[in-house]
Amino acid sequence: MKLAKYHSITPSVFWRYGLAWFMLVLFILLAWGTAVSVQASVPRQQSDSFSQLTAQAEQAGTVRVLVQLDMPFRPAGGLDDEQVVQAQQLEIDSVQENVLDELADTNTAVIAAFEYIPYLALELDAAALETLASLPQVVAIEEDIPVPPALSSSVPVIGADQAWASGYTGAGQTVAILDTGVDTGHAAFTTGGSRIVSQACYSTTNGAYSSTTVCPGGVEFSTAVGSGVDCTDAVGPSNSKAQSDCSHGTHVASIAAGDDGGSIVGVAPEANIIAIQIFSLFNSTSYCGGYSNCVLTFTSDQILALERVYELRDTYNIASVNMSLGGGQYFSACDSDSRKAAIDNLRSVGIATIIASGNNGYRDSLSAPGCISSAISVGATDDADNIASFSNVAPFLDLLAPGVSIYAAVPGGAGTKQGTSMATPHVTGAWALFKQAVPGASVDEALAAFQAGAVLVDDNRTSGVETDLARIQVPNAINSYVTGLTISATASEEFLLPGDLVTLALEVSNDTGTAASQVVLTAPQLDALTLQMGSLSGDAAVVNNEIVWTTGQTLNPGQSLSRSVTFVVKANATAGATTFTATAESSTMDEARQATAVLNINEVVGCGFSDGFESGTLSTAWETAVTEEGRVR
C-alpha cells in the first residue's frame, strides 16, 4: 500500500520503470480493448459542491478532498492474470504522479496515493483546488468527509445456532472489522486462543478539522501488532463522549465473531478477526453535533483500510468486511462515491463489504457508503421481525438483521446497544458461516442465497411503504444454495460374460447445511430374467421386493456414505435395456433424491461357448442421471 500522509510533493521520475513499464501498460490497454474510462463530468468549477469546497478552503485555509482520476480501470479480481494487475497498478501510479507533478508548485499535501484504485487523497488550499479542478486527468473531486459510527437473543432469530449444529461456526474464515478498534484482550476474542489475526490503524491529526489520531504512539497509520486496539485509552477520560463511542468496534466485532465461552457468543464464534481502527478524535461542536468531543472517520482512512484488507486477501480466507458507519441520505445508488472502487476490488476477489443502512428512520433512502450498489446494505429489525424505528430502508436495501437491544462485548465487559451498526455484523458473521459451507461462492451467489432463504418483512411503520424486505435466516441461505442429498450409481464392470458378477455401487452425499439422520437407500430389484441376486453387502436387505439400506448413522454436511449390492448375470438373459432407480432419503429432510441407471444387454452373435451357455456375450453400460428436482414424497 502506498501511503503518504502529509508528504510534500516533488517531481516524479516515471522513467524508473523503463521499457518494461510501457510494455505492460500497452499490454493492458490492448487486452482490455473496450475497457471503459470513467466518464468526464461538467467543469468542476461550475458545480455547487465545488463552490462549497472552495469556500471551505478559503475559510479554514485548506480542505481535504478525494480525487478520482481519468483512466481505464477494472476491479483486480476481474483481470486475466497477475501481469495485467501489475500493469494496472503501474498505470494508477503513473496518473497519480502526473497529477502531483502539476501540483508541485501549489500548497498541496498528499494524504494518500491509493495503490489499487485510481484515486488520490489530498489537502490543499483554494488556489491549489482551482488548479486541481482544471487538470484533464481529474474526473471528480469530493470532500474527505468525516462520518460517525452508525449506532444474546438475536443469534437464534437468524438461525445461527442451527448452522452451528450442522458444523458451521465460521472456522477457517476471517472477518474484517473497520471500526473504532477492538479490545484485543477481551475474553470474547481470546477464549481458546486469540482469534485476532491481524491489526491496523488509520487515523488523522488535522488542525483545520480539530482531529487527532488515536493510533498507538500518536502515528497516523500502522499495521503493527496492537495497532487495532480500541480507542478508549487514546481519547482519555476527559473526552467522555468519544470514550463511549470507542466501545463501538468491540461490540460490533463480538456480534460478528465473539465467544467468551459464556453469555457472549457471536454469529460466527470460530471465525478469525482482522481489527482495523479507522476513527479519529474530534474536539469540535460543529463536527460532533453539539458535543465537545466525538470520534469520526475520514473517507480516506476508510479507503486505506479497505486496501489493507485487499492486501491480505491471499493471507487469510476473508469472507466479509464490516463497516458499521455512514451518513447522508441517498434515494438511489450512490456509485460516484470514492469508496466504490475499493469495494469493487474486494468484491471481485469474493470478499463482501457489508455496510449499515443508517439510523435516520428513512423509509425510502439509505446513508453512504451503504448506498453503494456493490456493497451489501443492512437495515435493522427487532426480535419480532418489525423494522426498527430508527432503521433506514429503501427499495435497494439488500438485507435485514436484528439490531435492537443487542447484548455483546464492550471494552472490559459487556453491554447492550442498538442500531443498524448492530444489525450489520449479524450479516458479516452469517457471511462467514455461508462461506464455510460454500467456499467457492461469489458475493453475488451468496447474496442471492441470503435473499432466497430470507424471512420476508414489511415496513409497517408510519409512512412505511417497502414490502418483502429480506431478513437473513442462515440455514435457509445455506440450504437454498446447495443441492441437498445427491446419489450416484456405478457398475464395477463394463463387459460381462454370463455367470459373472456385477456390483452396483451407490453413493449418497449430504450437500445441505443440515445433518441428515437415518439415511435410507432403496431400490427395486432388477429384471429377474436378466439378473439374479448374488449377495447383499453391509446392512442391505430385501423388503417388499426392494433393496433397502438403513444406515443408522447421521450424515453431517459434506459427508458421504457408500453401499453396494452384487448381482449375477443370468446365462439366458434377454438382450435389451433394464432400468434401475435408486432413492436416498432422510428422516430429517423433506426431499428425497433419485439416481437412475440403465443396464443395456447387447447380444453379439458368432462367438461360441461351451458348458451349456448360449452363444453370445453380454455387456453392461450404466448411465447415471441425478434428478435434481425428483421429489418422491
- CATH number of the domain residue 258 falls in: 3.40.50.200
Number of helices (H), then strands (E), in the chain? 15, 35
Statement to judge: residues 51 and 87 lie in one domain = yes
90: part of which helix (H) or strand (E)?
Answer: helix 82-102
Statement to judge: residues 321 and 388 lie in one domain = yes
pLDDT, tens digit (0-9, with 9 covering 90-100), for 552-584: 667 776 788 887 777 776 766 666 555 666 777
Statement to judge: residues 405 and 495 lie in one domain = no
Answer with the residue of higher pLDDT: 129 or 550.
129
For the chain, what is the mean pLDDT?
Answer: 82
3-state helix, strand and coil shares in percent for the chain, rounded to the nearest 5? 25, 30, 45
Say what the pLDDT of residue 252 is.
98
Say what the pLDDT of residue 31 is.
46
Percent pLDDT > 70 in the chain is 73
Least trusted range by pLDDT, from 111-115, 290-294, 507-511: 507-511
Query: What is the amino acid identity at position 466?
Result: E
* pLDDT beyond 90 at 503: no
Answer with the residue of higher pLDDT: 561 or 484.
561
Q: Model-level pTM?
A: 0.76
Please provide residue 50's backbone torsions phi and psi, each rounded to the nearest 5 degrees.
-70, -40
* pLDDT beyond 50 at 585: yes
CA distances from 553 to 52, 176, 389, 559 (A): 69, 38, 47, 11
Last residue of a domain, one of 144, 178, 206: 144
Closest C-alpha among 223, 231, 241 to residue 280: 231
Say what the pLDDT of residue 612 is.
28
Last residue of a domain, one of 144, 159, 186: 144
Answer with the residue of higher pLDDT: 514 or 83.
83
* pLDDT beyond 80 at 335: yes
Least trusted range by pLDDT, from 255-259, 266-270, 562-566: 562-566
Statement to judge: residues 574 and 428 lie in one domain = no
242: part of which helix (H) or strand (E)?
Answer: helix 240-245
Say what the pLDDT of residue 489 is.
67
Give 437: exposed, middle or buried? Use CB within 10 Å, 0-12, 13-18, 19+.
buried
Statement to judge: residues 209 and 291 lie in one domain = yes
pLDDT band at 311 (very low <50, low <70, confident <90, very high): very high
Say what the pLDDT of residue 18 is.
46
Whether 563 is covered by a domain: the verdict is yes
Domain span including residue 571: 485-627
pLDDT, tens digit (0-9, with 9 covering 90-100), for 167-178: 899 999 999 999
Say what the pLDDT of residue 615 is.
27
**Extended beta strands in 242-317, E state:** 272-277, 280-282, 294-298
Tell me the three cell numbers of residue 514: 443440515
**Extended beta strands in 313-375, E state:** 318-323, 327-330, 352-356, 366-368
pLDDT, tens digit (0-9, with 9 covering 90-100), for 507-535: 787 766 566 766 777 766 555 556 666 55
Statement to judge: residues 136 and 252 lie in one domain = no
Whether 202 is covered by a domain: the verdict is yes
Say what the pLDDT of residue 616 is.
30
How does 191-215 read in b/e, with b if 16+ C-beta sit within 10 Å? beeebbebbbbbbbbbeebbbbbbb
Statement to judge: residues 352 and 389 lie in one domain = yes
Statement to judge: residues 139 and 154 lie in one domain = no
d(CA 295, CA 166): 40
- Quick one: CA torsion of 359, 361, 362, 367, rounded to 10 degrees? 0
Q: What is the CATH number of the domain that holds 98?
A: 3.30.70.80
Tell me the three cell numbers of residue 288: 460532533
How far is the first Cα of the chain from the last one, in angstroms, to the nearest whole number? 57
Statement to judge: residues 251 and 355 lie in one domain = yes
Whether 95 is covered by a domain: the verdict is yes
Domain count, the chain: 3
Statement to judge: residues 407 and 433 lie in one domain = yes
As beta bridge partners, residue 66 has 121, 142
pLDDT, tens digit (0-9, with 9 covering 90-100), for 385-402: 999 999 999 999 999 999
Closest C-alpha among 376, 389, 374 to residue 470: 376
Last residue of a domain, one of 438, 468, 500: 438
As beta bridge partners, residue 578 has 599
Q: What is the CATH number of the domain that holds 499?
A: 2.60.40.10
As beta bridge partners, residue 508 has 487, 561
Whether 224 is covered by a domain: the verdict is yes
Percent pLDDT > 90 in the chain is 61
* pLDDT beyond 90 at 53: yes
Tell me the three cell numbers of residue 340: 466504490
Mean pLDDT calculated for residue range 133-161: 87
Answer with the residue of higher pLDDT: 248 or 77.
248
Cβ proximity of 532 and 567 under 8 Å: yes
Statement to judge: residues 11 and 98 lie in one domain = yes
Q: Which distant-in-sequence residues (6+ apart) come within 8 Å of 18 by Cβ?
A: none
d(CA 253, CA 177): 6
pLDDT, tens digit (0-9, with 9 covering 90-100), for 124-140: 999 999 999 999 999 99
